[in-house]
Amino acid sequence: MERYVNTLDSEWYKQRIVGVSICALVAFVALFVRLIYLQVVLGEEYQRLSINNSIRLQIVDPPRGLILDRNGMKLAENRPSFDVSFTPKDAGDTGRVLGDLSTHLEIPSDDLFGRVKNSKGLAAFKPVLLKQDIGRDVLAVVEARKVDLPGVQVNVRLRRNYLYGTSASHVIGYLGEINTEELKGGDFPGLRGGDYIGRFGVERTYEAFLRGEPGGRQVEVNANGQVMRVLSTVSARPGQNIYLTLDRELQHKTEELLEGVVGAAVAVDPQNGHVLALASSPSFNQNSFVSGIAADSWESLLTNPFRPMENKAIQGEYPPGSTFKIITAIAGLEEKVIDETTTFDCAGSLPFGGRDFRCWKKEGHGRVDVRRALTESCDVFFYRVGQRLGVDRLAWYAKACGLGARTGIALDQEARGLIPSSVWKKKRFGVPWQEGETLSVAIGQGYDLTTPLQMALVAASVGNGGTRYRPLILDRVETMEGEVVHQNLPQVAGKIPASPRTLSIVQQGLWGAVNGERGTASRARLKDIEVAGKTGTSQVVGRKEGGDDYLPPHLRPHAWFVCYAPVGSPRIAVAVLIENGEHGSSAAGPIAREMVKTYLRAPAGGPKAAVEDVRVLAGSG
């Protein structure tokens, strides 16, 4: 019995061993067959892939959205650019390749080695950008010698192109390379080192609309890093096109008029707040920033005494001079310290506090009411109104008209300006307000500071009957297919605190300044169209007896002019500021006239000023 049991156990073990052996044999046969299949059938293909090729993922940059004016004229577009990159893994003899490449790119080999060395933290198969935007001649040479330059790739990339160079540069802005901190911050998902983002102007403000979304493609490259075939592609989503409120023709004309002077000019639509033109002089060339501006060029822009990088239309803060008399007149009439029949005698100066506060017209204006005071810009009349109002009531009306605060335009670094009050001075200087200071503030001097955009909006709101609009620079956003995805509607910022009667009186005074026999702004007159406006001269330093002729150019008064047209139903309001231009009537008025004429397509000319008017213009405020 025991022998029978042992025999059964032995048979069972033999069967187990045979089963295991068969399984092992089948596994080895399967592996052997698979090995034969891979080596014999697919061997050549896998050998090619393993020895000569690798699969890589390439980013596909999206086309940036276009920037156009209100009529669809392109201001900024994209153009093809050829960039040279180098992949260390594919190079073999890096020293030889970079040495040869330096000759073609006209870059010292040490610089190329330095760029590759600085990228050692990247994977060896990551391309290193060596030079951007090479010319077509260099492209032809590099492409012809690509077999001798393993690891070198020339990539086509869309680059920004500003069609008019310096035109509207402070509005459009420019692009700059994204930095490490911005990449880490998470505000720009999907971007990588070497990508460009908006740095200034609407390029920055509307970056989210313009940028688009990158795509990608999986490619097979050979040992030299050359693309053999595209395996798969995910399309990039183009950026959206933005239509600005600017009128290209008016913008161009405004910049022509400002050429050779330092200053700014703004035109807005009084009916909706659209910015029709916004120019700051001198300007800068946006295309200088496209491939990265050189350090010495950037330093030159920053140290230029005329400040080309400053958007003087919204960042420049200047005493408004006699243009501020619009505010003083409104405040005086509304507070009933004067009415339309109130008159004051102007003998050329007003004695107060032991000094004479002079009028610009030395012999005086005689007996004047508020309309004539605006028309002829009588300082003494507004000294008197300021005395009766006091600085705090004057400040309240100025702020209610939009001064001393940012307008809300969608551009960078807008200045607030300054409207002083007794509380402000006590807090700022620790001393009480002096009554004599109110006289200076009442004619736009002293501590008063405004921007050209603010004063353009004051003119617009007076002209349209009292509605203050927030200035808009963006009209709409469209997809590449023309679908409107965003439309800016007019935004009311408030109302001027003035009754219809008060506004009518002020409007009559401004009409007289341009069209009246003794108006200070007759050089802004146009034939067949009525313009209403106000000149201004703001002092850089205190005036002394004998006039301003002794002053060096950089200390001479600034010239102002604000206006709207046509009277009754204005379609354009303008503010022009010329630094050290001395007289608003002669320096700023003619520029505003040409801007109005260009936009409204009105013929130039009109009745010539009488001889006496010419004398008035020579020294008006």
Q: What local confidence, expressed as pLDDT, does residue 8 receive? A: 52
User: Could you read off the pLDDT of 489-505 as tens digits, one per residue?
Assistant: 999 999 999 999 999 99
Helix spans in 233-272 (H)? 248-258
Q: Is residue 143 predicted with pLDDT exceeding 90?
A: no
Rg (CA), the chain: 36
Q: Is the pLDDT of residue 361 over 60?
A: yes
Terminal-to-terminal C-alpha distance of the chain: 136
The residue with greater pLDDT, 21 or 382, is 382
Residue 373 or residue 61, greater confidence: 373
**Interval 418-461: pLDDT, tens:** 999 999 999 999 999 999 999 999 999 999 999 999 999 999 99
Contact 555, 567 (CB under 8 A): no
Q: Is the pLDDT of residue 619 over 90?
A: no
**How do 263-268 and 572-578 pair as beta strands?**
antiparallel
- The average pLDDT across 63-85 equals 91
The model's confidence at residue 21, banded by pLDDT at 50, 70 and 90, is confident
Amino acid present at 106: E
Q: Report pLDDT digits (tens) over 542-553.
A: 655 444 456 787
Element (DSSP H or E) covering residue 281: strand 275-281
From residue 94, how far is each of 52, 100, 123, 150 by CA, in Å?
A: 18, 10, 15, 9
User: What is the reported pLDDT for 618?
Assistant: 33
Of 92 and 137, more confident:
137
* pLDDT at 205 > cutoff 50: yes
* Percent of the chain residues past pLDDT 90, beyond the cut: 55
Residue 620 has pLDDT above 50, yes or no: no
Upstream peptide bond of 566 is cis (omega within 30 degrees of 0): yes
- How much is the average pLDDT of 361-387? 96
Convert 436-466 to b/e letters by CB count within 10 Å (16 or more is b). Answer: ebbbbbbbbbbbbbbbbbbbbbbbbbbbbbb
User: Rounded CA gap, 600 and 594, in Å?
Assistant: 10
Q: Give the containing element (helix H, strand E) for 611.
A: helix 611-617
More confident residue, 541 or 23: 23
pLDDT score recorded for residue 55? 74
More confident residue, 581 or 238: 238
Weakest mean pLDDT among 11-15, 38-42, 46-50, 543-547: 543-547
Among 229-243, 335-349, 440-454, where is mean pLDDT lowest? 229-243
Could you tell me the two tokens for 91? Answer: 């190079």
Residue 412 token pair: 């960078």
Of 136-140, 438-442, 470-474, 561-565, which range is least confident?
136-140
Range with the poorest average pLDDT among 182-191, 320-329, 550-559: 182-191
Token pair belonging to 294? 């050189």
Write down the pLDDT at residue 179. Answer: 80
Cross-strand partners of 573: 268, 564
* pLDDT for the residue numbered 107: 75
- In the prediction, which pLDDT does 612 show? 34
561 forms bridges with which residues in the sheet?
535, 576
Helices of type H across 148-292: 169-172, 180-185, 201-205, 207-211, 248-258
Distance, in Å, from the CA atom of 28 to the CA atom of 300, rounded to the nearest integer, reads: 77
Rounded mean pLDDT of 45-72? 75
Whether 49 shows a pLDDT value over 60: the answer reads no
Sorting pLDDT into bands at 50, 70 and 90, what band is 48? low
Known catalytic membership, residue 283: no
Q: For residue 133, which phi and psi values (nearest 5 degrees)?
A: 55, 55
Least confident residue range of 172-176, 241-245, 254-258:
172-176
Read off the pLDDT of each residue in 47-53 and give the average, rounded to a whole number.
53
Position 286 pLDDT exceeds 70: yes
User: CB-hemisphere CA count at 13 Å for 185?
Assistant: 7
- CB 471 within 8 Å of CB 453: yes
Report for 85-99, 118-132, 138-152, 318-332: range of highest mean pLDDT: 318-332
Helix (H, G, I), strand (E, B) or coil at 158: strand
Band of pLDDT at residue 609, cut at 50, 70 and 90: very low
**Selected catalytic residue, list 167, 169, 322, 522:** 322
Q: How far is CA 504 from CA 125, 361, 463, 493, 525, in A?
A: 74, 26, 9, 21, 20
Mean pLDDT across the chain:
85
pLDDT for the residue 606: 42
- The whole-number pLDDT of residue 370 equals 97
Count of CA atoms in the C-beta half-sphere (13 A) of 199: 16
- Report phi then psi at 262, rounded to 5: -105, 125
Among the listed residues 328, 496, 488, the one whose alpha carbon sits nearest the alpha carbon of residue 401: 496
pLDDT value at position 13?
66
Q: What is the pLDDT of residue 463?
A: 97
What gap in Å lies between CA 43 and CA 65, rounded to an integer? 48
Q: Cα–Cα distance between 335 and 305 in angstroms, integer?
A: 44
C-alpha to C-alpha distance for 580 and 560, rounded to whole angstroms: 10
**Closest C-alpha among 421, 418, 333, 318 to residue 373:** 333
Q: How many angstroms separate the CA atoms of 211 and 160, rounded?
A: 12
Q: Within a 13 Å sphere around the CA of 355, how many CA atoms are in the beta-carbon half?
A: 11
pLDDT tops 90 at residue 188: no
Residue 613 is predicted with a pLDDT of 35
Please say if the pLDDT value at position 413 is more than 60. Answer: yes
What mean pLDDT comes out for the span 174-196? Answer: 78
What is the enclosing helix (H) or strand (E) of 76? strand 74-86
Question: Could you give the maximum distance between any two Cα atoms of the chain, in Å?
Answer: 150
For residue 156, the cross-strand partners are: 82
Banded model confidence at residue 408, pLDDT cuts 50, 70, 90: very high
Per cent of the chain over pLDDT 70 is 84
Compute the average pLDDT of residues 280-292: 88
| 555 vs 63: which has the higher pLDDT | 63
